[in-house]
Structure 1
Amino acid sequence: MPRKEKKSIPAEQLELYEKLVESIPELEINSTFGFPYTSLNGHMFSLLSKSGFVGIRLPKQERETFLKKYNSTIYKPEPGPLLKEYVTVPNDLLTDIETLKKYLSISLEYVKTLKPKPAKKKK
């Protein structure tokens, strides 16, 4: 049986995602699950899929506005389930760090309102 080829994230998208996260000094990138993401209090709020697509978690009103304004879709990583609170960042918008910084800041403020998830005990 042939081995599955490990898909690596496109370098250009990874670099742009890193620049976006670095634009907000209090954030840092995690990669516990094999892909880069941001989280706070156990809640992920942005990620970069292995296919090179960025997803940002937004509250309902901002999410609806983003979807219409950028002709975007609800985020679905490959493989994985639909992430209903996340929007897919169009690749051409990924180069506009200032615009995306605004949305990432909104996302950060949104997850600050969520109840922290309890830490999992290490075995």
Structure 2
Amino acid sequence: MWEQHLQLFDEIAADAQLERKGKTMPYTSSNGYMFSLLNKDGELGIRLSKEDQKKFIEEFPESGLFKSHGATMRDYVLVPESLLKTNKKIVTFYLKRGHSYVNTLKPK
């Protein structure tokens, strides 16, 4: 499952014209901030603004807050596996929203 989700993550990042980084912990980053991450369980999390988080969780109730290594990641939502596998267009849209969001933050 992890390898399949990594391949989907790579396709989505490419569709969004973003560089996926990391070998053992794949992620995307901009402005000094990570805004997406594939955890060891093959779950994809995207960092979003509070407004986008609320909208995402309302639109996809099987989502929720994203956890990695047992910790809840602040500002991240869990991309449901069903969405990741069936609607890359929506995931790409939210990945771009995450990219835009971190670029509004003070650079690290």
Q: 1:46 aligns with which of 16, 20, 36?
A: 36
The CA deviation at 1:84 is: 2.1
Letter in 1 for 2:8: L
What does the per-residue CA deviation read over 1:52-80, in whole Å, with 9 as the maximum and x for residues that have no partner? Answer: 00000000011011112111110001x14
Task: Tell me the TM-score normalized by structure 1.
Answer: 0.81
Q: 1:56 aligns with which of 24, 46, 64?
A: 46
Asked if residue 30 in structure 1 is aligned to residue 47 in structure 2, the reply is: no
* Count of residues in correspondence between the two structures: 106
Asked if residue 91 in structure 1 is aligned to residue 96 in structure 2, the reply is: no
Task: Tell me the TM-score normalized by structure 2.
Answer: 0.92
Following TM superposition, the consecutive aligned residue runs of length 4 or more in structure 1 with deviations greater than 2 angstroms are none
What does the per-residue CA deviation read over 1:28-68, in whole Å, with 9 as the maximum and x for residues that have no partner? Answer: 11117x31000012100001011000000000011011112
Letter in 1 for 2:25: F
- Unaligned ranges ≥5, structure 2: none
Tell me which protein shows more helix as a share of its residues. Answer: 2
What does the per-residue CA deviation read over 1:65-115, in whole Å, with 9 as the maximum and x for residues that have no partner? Answer: 1112111110001x1421120000000000211111110111111011011
* Larger-Rg structure: 1
- Other structure's SS at 1:15 match: helix
> RMSD between aligned alpha carbons?
1.3
Q: 1:74 aligns with which of 47, 65, 74?
A: 65
Tell me which protein shows more strand as a share of its residues. Answer: 2
